[in-house]
Structure 1
Amino acid sequence: MSDIFDLAAEEPAATYDNTARLMPELPWLNELNPEQKQAVTTTEGPLLVLSGAGTGKTKVLTARLAYILANMKANPWNCLVVTFTNRAAREMQNRARNLIGNIADSVWMGTFHGIAVKILRRHAELVGLKSNFTILGEDDQRRLIKQLLEADGIDDKKYPPQSILDKIQLWKDKGLTADKIDDSFRANVVTEVYKKYQARLLELNCVDFGDLLLYTLNILMSDAGVLDDYQTRFKYIMVDEYQDTNVTQYLFLRLICQKYRNLCCVGDDDQSIYSWRGAEIENILRFEKDFPDAKVIRLERNYRSTANILTAASALIRHNRDRLGKTLKVAENSPAARGDNSKIKVVSTYSGSEEAAYVADEIENLHRNGTGYSQMAVLVRTAAQTREFEEKFIAEAIPYQVIGGPKFYERAEIRDALAYLRVILQPADDLALERIINKPARGIGAKTIEKFENEARVNHISMFMAIEKMLKEGALSGKVKTNVSELINNFYQWRQTMNAVSPDDLAAQVLEDSGYMEMLKMDKSAEAEGRIENLKELINVMSDTEQYPTLSDFMEHVSLVMDNDNNIDTDKVMLITLHSAKGLEFDAVFLPGWEEGLFPHQRALDEGGGSALEEERRLAYVAMTRAKQKLYILTALNRRIYGQWQNNLPSRFINELPPANIEICNMAATYFGAAGNYGGSWAEQHRSSSNWYNRSRQTEENVIRDSDRFSYVRDEDDGWSGSVWRAKQKARNAASATPVGSRVFHETFGYGKVLKIEGNKLEIWFDQAGHKKLLKDYVRKA
């Protein structure tokens, strides 16, 4: 298999044997439904495939590629397939190989950034770069911005580096260079930084992710010969997740498809949820305007979710105006068609903590009845919502995993190791050198580094060359001279051996020779031990020389790894933000926090108005369609947000769900019935009036919140009622009654004895783990 991050093998020098892929029969075509088959066999001209959630878009894209190659419509290297994640590219390439063999490996397949980096390395000189340019990560980008602000005496509190970087990246996503930005005062300050930032990147022979496509677009627009080469090369172009493309990606596709116009875009306008990172829903909405002769095929047969889930989700999304329109239905003979068509359960709790308790108990109930933990997920609108669930899951010994936290390559020790390797590959990479020049400590302080930077700036050379110059001229002395000289000599030695040893052996040598590993070994803390294990894992990853034969191959892989490529194949409940859940599916899905201000999120509404509300609704649609069998929507009347208690009204999205497809699992009659204008239970109001949400807002002041009067009403089979809930609460309270001297048990530390009680905290002496201080909820009586 070719490296997915390098995209595809080059076309062979010898003539390719087309007869090797001539297939008299294509049996896998018979596995497609009529709409899927139509999308696969429609190969000529512009095509938009509107693929709803769970309708098999990956299967269609793979089959379409296989169909084109099997029918000899093009050589594999004349096909371009663009995905949004490396995981999607790997999955598609594996599927294509299963259908048509190894010829799939020669297809140009990868992410927009992966495609762009391949083109840019070939033509780097046309934009003033060398072909071995370095792709900077966000941390280095921020440091560079900060350096530029300091050099110009600009207050980084007034102009935070991250804010400037976000603005620059947004401009790049829109295809805007610094000379095309408006000249308002604040924009002018940022524009000047943008200009200097780009100039400095060129000096360092570095690019950021936004540059990859922007430079590539620049090359294609300014060099007719290069443009013609790629327009001729790519006879068939297929794009996944077209609704998530930004302006620069859109312009790139429009340029390279002009010769043959065989552009197939697969996407779902109802799942466009990434405008905050530059995605333009208008790209997919205007496809037929861009290509008047385009054919549009709708995939509406869903193979994932039950009829109640699909009907409710479709009803919800129909409230959006900016959409092309489609209606999902359960595919015949799909697991969903044969399964339990449970109604969506809408659960109202008194507080966020009761919401978490309900979810934990329901997860345990489902698990006892055969649902694996990894087939259940809690999807939250904001990361801050996970805390109560994490604490409750720990207390109830429910295994869980938070998806979307700090990634492996973002950890400090990994970034340090990679910085050493970057300098070996690219001595002009000042940002990488500055990061590790005093790691481990070499007595090189900020003032010394500033001298190095000034020498480099005055002479228009890299910091590495500036240090060499200062050593040669005797400008350094004492400990600084000794230590810097040793470091420079180490880099000479590492560079000389780079091509003689494997990447993992080189990395191990660098960590030992530099003293970095010894620095961690001298630190006896548990944190240091974890960092050592992380570095060992880095070396382990690099040992795959078949995948990464050279250091450059591995470093490019690291640069192109996508945020959502998480390993979730473990038996743990998943805690995920809604934006990170796209593309995933679970047997049971819990959607907490469906309250006004939280979902739809107030900040989004304040900043984006009506268009933001539609995107929030699309986010709700995506969340609902992650569920295969069971879906729970939860709303809490009170919630602690950033340390403050907040009274909430249920989300307007709940009011947009069809009453026939939902089950009100607990009634809020106690609260709403006492409020004059409600006139009855929440469920009755929901069923009887389409103005339930508006009437709720009018009577917000009258809602009575009395936790002792709250009760659940639920199916007898599930065992929930107000009395059962109160019994469970009493049991929990009894379990937390742990006087001094009592024996307790903790899932990690085992058995122990309570020594002292401080409010809700216990001091415990564990038989094996010794002295610990824990919250009461995290232990139980032995």
Structure 2
Amino acid sequence: MDNSFDFEMSSCKKVFASLNPNQYKALTTSPSNVLQILAGPGTGKTRVITARVAYLLCEKKIPPQNIIVTTFTKKAANEMKDRLAKLIDTVSVPVDLKKLVIGTFHSICVRILRIFGKLIDLNVKFSIADDTDSKQLIKRVLETKFNRGKPSGANDIKVKTTDIQEYKYFISACKSKAQFPNEVPPKVSDHAFEDHLEVYHKYQQSLINNNLIDFDDCLLLTYKLLKEHPKCLRNIEHVLVDEFQDTNLVQLELMYLFALNSNHKVTVVGDPDQSIYGFRHAEANNFYRMEDHYKKLGLNVVKVQLDQNYRSTSNILRFAETLMRTKQTAARPEKDLKSNTQENTPVYFDQYPTNKDEAMHIANDIKNLTKNKYKYSDIAVIIRSSFLSRALEQEMIHFSIPYIIMHGKSFWERKEIKVMVDFLRSVASNSDWLGFSRTLEFCTPGMGAMSLERIENEFEAQRKDGHKGNVYHILKEIVKGKRKRFSSKVKEGIERYMKTIHGARKFLKNESLTNEQKLDHMFDYIVEQQNLVDLVSQKKTSSSQSPDEIKQDVKENLDELRNQLLSFDPPDTEVLNPVSDEEEGTALLTSVETHSVNKGELNPVKLLTAFLDSIYLYEESHYNQSKTVEEEQGRVVVTTIHGSKGLEWPIVFVPGLCDGILPSKYVLQEENPSKRKSAMDEECRCLYVAVTRAKERLHLSCFAENDGFGFGGNEIKPVSQLLKGKPLKMAKRRKHEEQLNKSSRRTGFFQFNKLDRSKYRSRNAKEAMHYDSMFSHIPKAAPIGFKTAKDMLKDSARDNGSQKENPYKKRKKTKKHLGMGRGPMKPFKLN
């Protein structure tokens, strides 16, 4: 290994010189080797992979367009580009980082498909189906299937939400293994499997009919393309994959294909112990699969383990490693992380009678800690199940603790945003049936299921005749009276709707306007013509907001969407033209990337399409990332385990460590021994991720009985089996001056009206946060607001009045509530 440098730049030299020995080894390992960097929590992973990219660019002189870097999120990609820009700022030979191929697997694959998709007969003007689109298509396939052969006049069989989710998961699992419908291995005499496979076939055909690809297809179709046409990426000289532990099998195969023409020059960075996305089909064993794959090819696989931890105390590190050594059954590389801090506070563990007692003592702890050197923003409460946040919120309000709940309801899930995005889809494409149908149903008086079915039948007939299918043309003919069987009320509504779409498109064609003005005028025109602020506000209800407050929220959210559209600046590759017939087999990804495109010169429709792509491609939205955790000063953060990944705080509380929560009741109830073992390992890794977020103090706790808030108390048992044995022996149990139990609490509601709740709110605080995913631990979005305990208690008494169904309405869920009060509590002191 050559460790010598010949740099002409001071900034890189300074950074590289500050690396510890193992980081330096990871940096300077020859690019001709396959490199695995095993980076435990807090070991400087981001710093090392960024330095590695700079090393390849500056020392090895690899052109940026010949390097692919994949990251887990768009935010991570942007942060890496910012760090790289600062790192190589003083390079004598300039490096154009705009040419670096960096992004999530999905975003990079969409770029490739837009350019080369024609080679596998893909219409490169495809749209990307979001989660709602996919579920809607699966629902239609199931409705047809369930009601096939039904006697005339019999009621239609309704499709359950759980059915849709089950089939969707099966399809996603197949695609994550790089399996098209005709490539899924058969199972003998398994009728349920054959049934699911039939739905997969028909769902895939529905996507093709609607010129859509779903999130998984971004990867699967790129895999097919590169298998059949590997020379598309023949310029690539090195591939780097961040967060490798979160890759699935098709992403592993894509990495092989990305690096195929570079003689397999690959660097991966990650930590198998932090693989916690099994529900997205991530494979913690990909490190071992990769090693076996390249060794069979006769290649040298170099492993470098980063062992210097710059985050946590030695007690926290020892506890975390003991947890993994004693509770993890899957193969893993053992760690011996060395702490870089002198702090040596013990890991604390407490057990309480109920979850409300647990929440109360956590709030009291926080109050005491902030009397000394800590700020509220130094503290995080990391939970596995969202139901635990309810008691926490109630206690934080009682103790006057400002807080923010991360990963609540996504900006992009709001009704007004969904409606407006569908309008933008309809403006951008004549053939986006799902975008047209949902906006028609929402905005057109008299437009019911029967009218929509007739329009869809016309659309399907067009496609059967060999045409692409043009919803816009069909709607024009309905307005002109060329298509019968539509009432005058429906025709009038469609005419008004078509006027909106046509007028919006006219703005995009107005050559006297800049692109930004075109998009701005188009956006405002849609909102005004359809009176969207009033229309959406009338269909939204909230017991915690007045009609005027709802209307103001809708307006602010639409304004934010407009701002995101106008400020959107896509990578060059997201708006470029596909390969021409003459270029087939000769064009390169790099050759089109190196031609920089000015945003103002772009076709506004392509710019709009790129913006719509970006909404679906990234795990975090532009809006949700506008505020980082660091910017949320003065608040305690309450977040899920998955939402906490990659973050750190001086003080971390991890409550609810009970059997039935972590590990979850679903894991404990799993009857298949192999699946149960695998699921338990992932539960263990979840706890590992949670405890390694703590820098100085770690507080673990559990409770014996759930005191309300909608979770079955008989399904919860203290203490979590993940803690029992050696891990628990390493934790210090505290003796409180006062241990409360249920009998010492008096019932009754808190006097919330006496509190100034506004000081505890973050942005858009009035949104419902948890009911849509009561038991979900999957992160949805970055912090944008929370709902107070008062709002939840009020919502539980909401009158269940009927409401007109619309395509954006979510099924109302029954909510139980139980209000508990108490007198003053004598504080206990922390050791």
Compute the displacement of 1:410 (Å): 1.3
Q: Name the residue aligned to 2:75.
A: 87
Write out aligned runs for 1:230-629 (5 A): 230=233, 232-259=234-261, 260-292=263-295, 293-319=300-326, 320-331=328-339, 334=340, 337-338=341-342, 340-460=343-463, 461-472=469-480, 473-475=482-484, 476=486, 478-500=488-510, 501-520=517-536, 524-544=547-567, 546=569, 550-563=607-620, 566=625, 567=627, 568=629, 569-570=631-632, 571-607=634-670, 608-629=675-696
Compute the displacement of 1:520 (Å): 4.5
Larger Rg: 1
Compute the displacement of 1:522 (Å): 6.9
Compute the displacement of 1:477 (Å): 5.1
- Whether 2:723 is the aligned partner of 1:654: answer yes
Q: 2:61 aligns with which of 69, 73, 76?
A: 73
- Whether 2:111 is the aligned partner of 1:111: answer no
Unaligned runs of 5+ in 1: 1-19, 666-712, 714-719, 751-759, 762-772
Aligned partners of 2:741, 2:373: CA distance in 1, in Å? Answer: 25
Bigger shift: residues 34-43 or 143-152? 143-152
> Partner amino acid for 1:480?
V
> Partner amino acid for 2:392?
F
Aligned partners of 1:209, 1:588: CA distance in 2, in Å? Answer: 37
Aligned partners of 2:733, 2:652: CA distance in 1, in Å? Answer: 16
Aligned partners of 1:437, 1:462: CA distance in 2, in Å? Answer: 15
Bigger shift: residues 559-568 or 101-110? 559-568
Q: Percent identity?
A: 30
> Partner amino acid for 2:644?
A
Bigger shift: residues 642-651 or 353-362? 642-651
Q: Name the residue aligned to 1:34.
A: 21
Deviations for 1:727-771, whole angstroms, at most 9, x for unmatched residues?
Answer: 9998x8699898xxxx97222389xxxxxxxxx99xxxxxxxxxx
8 A contact 2:219–2:251 mirrored in 1: yes
> Partner amino acid for 1:561?
Y
Aligned partners of 1:344, 1:391: CA distance in 2, in Å? Answer: 26
Q: Name the residue aligned to 1:748.
A: 757
Q: Name the residue aligned to 1:100.
A: 88
Aligned partners of 2:369, 2:504: CA distance in 1, in Å? Answer: 56
- Whether 2:175 is the aligned partner of 1:188: answer no
Compute the displacement of 1:252 (Å): 0.7
In the superposition, relative to structure 1, how do residues 21 and 554 fare at CA in structure 2: closer, same or farther (>3 Å)?
farther
Q: Name the residue aligned to 1:6.
A: none
> Partner amino acid for 1:327?
K
Aligned partners of 1:90, 1:775: CA distance in 2, in Å? Answer: 45
TM value normalised by structure 1: 0.81
> Partner amino acid for 2:560?
E
Q: Name the one with the larger strand percent.
A: 1
Aligned partners of 2:538, 2:658: CA distance in 1, in Å? Answer: 51
8 A contact 2:533–2:551 mirrored in 1: no
Compute the displacement of 1:581 (Å): 1.6
- Whether 2:217 is the aligned partner of 1:211: answer yes
Write out aligned runs for 1:120-131 (5 A): 120-131=113-124
- Whether 2:131 is the aligned partner of 1:138: answer yes
Aligned partners of 1:522, 1:111: CA distance in 2, in Å? Answer: 38
Compute the displacement of 1:120 (Å): 0.6
8 A contact 2:537–2:554 mirrored in 1: no
Q: 1 or 2 for the larger relative contact order (CA 8 Å, sep ≥6)?
A: 2
8 A contact 1:84–1:241 mirrored in 2: yes
In the superposition, relative to structure 1, how do residues 561 and 508 fare at CA in structure 2: closer, same or farther (>3 Å)?
farther
Aligned partners of 1:628, 1:158: CA distance in 2, in Å? Answer: 42
8 A contact 2:478–2:491 mirrored in 1: no
> Partner amino acid for 1:196?
K
Compute the displacement of 1:22 (Å): 5.6
Report the secondary structure of 1:533's partner residue.
Answer: helix
TM value normalised by structure 2: 0.76
Write out aligned runs for 1:218-229 (5 A): 218-223=224-229, 227-229=230-232
After superposition, the CA RMSD in angstroms is: 3.0
Compute the displacement of 1:563 (Å): 4.1
Compute the displacement of 1:105 (Å): 2.6
Aligned partners of 1:133, 1:727: CA distance in 2, in Å? Answer: 60
Aligned partners of 1:727, 1:659: CA distance in 2, in Å? Answer: 23
Report the secondary structure of 2:442's partner residue.
Answer: coil
Deviations for 1:276-300, whole angstroms, at most 9, x for unmatched residues?
Answer: 1110112112332122220000001
Write out aligned runs for 1:678-717 (5 A): 713=735
Q: Name the residue aligned to 2:578.
A: none
Q: Name the residue aligned to 2:706.
A: 639
8 A contact 1:517–1:532 mirrored in 2: yes
Aligned partners of 1:633, 1:282: CA distance in 2, in Å? Answer: 29
8 A contact 1:22–1:72 mirrored in 2: no
